[in-house]
Amino acid sequence: MTSDTDDRRSTDDHGHDIIDPLFVGIVTVSSSRAGEDDPDDPGGDTIQECFESAGHEVRERVLVRDDYSAIRTAVRGLVARQDIDVVCTTGGTGVTVDDVSPEATASLFERELPGFGELFRSLSWDEVGTRAMASRATAGIAVDTPVFCLPGSESACKTACEELIVPETPHLAGLATRHRTGASDQTLADYGSE
């Protein structure tokens, strides 16, 4: 049985699995914007522009308030979809009492990607200095889907997407779903028979 992902699956110059173009879901977390009919969403817009300028396609954008259950439900709904390869959230990664995006998304992770947060904060140091330590940006794999939890600022989203997420996620998505391909099924069967 083939899927839409199979049509976009290939390998890069180094033989690594990739999915390209990626189909993207974006969740904007903002209590102040959630009640507006036409909310200003610089973080979500920046994420979309970064992915689309690299030839990827944004399939869904969701706006939720700063609420653990609302964030978790939105992300869970996106990672469950077969037509979404990567999810990015923007907003709610700071240290105020209602900044719960990292907790809500991490509760869905099967595997964490701690290197993302470390690299993001390192890059942020160059831009904002010691304020970088207040960012709790995180990432992980949920239902075979890379999920990135970003701050709400336009510049933070641009840095994260341009420097880290857009260049690496075709490979991450390829690796996270490799077990779904016939080739990897055979490899796993061979491994189990040793």
Residue ranges of the domains in the chain? 4-188
pLDDT value at residue 178: 87
Q: What's the pLDDT score for residue 36?
A: 64
Q: Which CATH architecture has domain 4-188?
A: 3-Layer(aba) Sandwich (3.40)
- Average of per-residue pLDDT across 21-28: 98
Tens-digit pLDDT profile for residues 114-160: 999 999 999 999 988 898 898 999 999 999 999 999 999 999 999 99
Mean pLDDT within 157-182 = 93
Range 46-69 average pLDDT:
97
Please check whether residue 54 is in contact with residue 161, taking contact to mean a CB–CB distance below 8 angstroms: no
Q: Which two tokens stand for residue 97?
A: 């009492």
Q: What is the pTM of this model?
A: 0.88
Contact 164, 194 (CB under 8 A): no
Q: Respond yes or no on whether the N-terminal peptide bond of residue 21 is cis (omega within 30° of 0).
A: yes
Lowest pLDDT segment from 46-55, 98-107, 184-193: 184-193
For the chain, how long is the longest CA-to-CA vector? Answer: 59
Look at 21 and 16; give whichever has higher pLDDT. 21
Q: Which residue has the tokens 């009919």?
A: 37
- The reported pLDDT for the residue numbered 3 is 58
